[in-house]
Structure 1
């Protein structure tokens, strides 16, 4: 698995919007393209490749000395093949090598991603009305 840094934020935000639409609809949340794009442009964007095939991407940022995963998306054609877990393993390595002790991420309470993170070893540390805040050590 390779991570290739990218600047394809507009394309990535469109994918996020498509993937997150069911959650936003179920929770009656409003998606703001401009606000999301502005927020995500503050992140580092990495395309996830397996043998030259793009299988997904992730976005990460640092805040108050902590490493945050803003988004992790695996293309629906490549889900349930271990790529999400493999990506999290590599993200953990990168965070540890960069001196971070923890990785943090938020996930909708009703999302499949929550199970992925918890199976990987993230633990619930807090919650909002719609999300669980999760943390894992590096």
Structure 2
């Protein structure tokens, strides 16, 4: 299934989806949501909704520097997972990075998150692991 990937400024949708998806990991890792940090980071990101049938079902947030393009958030609503939406979002990010002349993608993911398998299938490898987090990277050719 191919979603429309559209720019968004809907911070409330983004925060709700992230909190819904990540609460189990936060609980397991004894972490707490920081709304002030989310607010400050939200302003620095290019944010996109993944839309199916005119309904937002996912979120992609990216940013870049001279070294790499970073996937800062990739969240899919639970009922829409395992339908290719994450893959479509990664392909979108690859295309975006190419247009910017960037040849490296990076992301962070909790070690206990099953999305690690998706990222590995998409060509990412673990650069380092620190504080229950994998730092992953892939080159764009």
* Pairing 1:1-138 to 2, within 5 Å after superposition: 1-138=3-140
1:108–1:131 contact (8 Å) kept in structure 2? yes
- Please, what TM-score do these two structures have when normalized by structure 2? 0.90
TM-score by structure 1 length?
Answer: 0.92
SS in 2 for 1:121: coil
How many correspondences in the alignment? 138
Distance in 1 of aligned mates of 2:37 and 2:98:
30
Runs of 4+ more than 4 Å apart: none
Over the residues paired in the alignment, what is the CA RMSD in angstroms?
1.4
SS in 2 for 1:36: helix
Q: For structure 1, which runs of at least 5 residues remain unmatched after alignment? A: none
Q: Could you tell me how far apart the structure 2 residues matched to 1:3 and 1:82 are? A: 13
CA deviations on 1:13-38 (whole Å, 9 max, x unpaired) are: 12111211111110111211111221
Unaligned runs of 5+ in 2: none
